[in-house]
Amino acid sequence: RTMPAPSAVSAKLIFPTKEIVEEYYLPIIYTACRTCYSEQLPDQIWDKAVSRGVADEKQQSLVRKVMESGHGSTIEHVNFTFAISGVTRTLSHQLVRHRAGTAFDQQSQRYVSFKQRDNYTIPDSITKGDLPDDLAGQFQRAVDSNMDLYGQLLQAEVPAEDARFIFPNAMQTNLIMTVNLRQLIHMSGLRLCTMAQWEIRQLFKQIRHEILRGSPIFGSFPAPTSRPAGMREEM
């Protein structure tokens, strides 16, 4: 059996569209910010913002100042939904630890019977590493053997929810993730850090790129944060 394809991590922003972001997301956050410091009614602030009675530059300036002051609740009012595919269970175990301000739905190994037998990922440190004793080959054969056994268990009418016990963390999975902007910035700060695991860094680089494509303003916020030496996220 041939080596599976290289890591196929993919994150696509499926909502909102670029047009929705440009027309509504800045006014929503501006309205939240301005409401805190104005005698005007929120709907009056909104009407001026969304009609561009207040210029985008002025809205952006207030939003940046409020964010820099640490008033993060104002950016919890906008959400982004991503279609995530080709990531491993190693990654998803890390990703779903983020709970506040997030929603996940993941491909089930209980209700999905996997007919494909090469939907797993082998790290570059194994496939491209100078390893002794054909360790890369041994790794692949071990995973392939597990996948073949999984198929045999299904043929023997073992329920998929039980046959899946043989799966390694290398198995790929798909998710839908919705997250508000404040939480996305927090998650990106942790997961873009060079101390984070390589696969989840790949994912969040794509997520940041997707946000940048829809909005250079909001896409500039997700960035790695520095942490004290020796401190790391759970793997």
Which residues are designated catalytic? 191
C-alpha distances (whole Å) from 156 to each of 4, 17, 110, 112, 118 are: 26, 46, 16, 16, 21
Q: Cα separation of 150 and 97, whole Å?
A: 28
User: Could you give the CA distance from residue 51 to residue 75 in angstroms, rounded to a whole number?
Assistant: 20
Amino acid identity, residue 29?
I
Tokens representing 194 are 């060079």
φ/ψ of 2, rounded to 5, equals -75, 160
The answer, yes or no, to whether the previous bond of 16 is cis (omega within 30 of 0) is: yes
Tokens of 186: 């927090």
Are 176 and 81 a contacting pair, CB within 8 Å?
Answer: yes
Judge contact between 87 and 173, C-beta under 8 A: yes
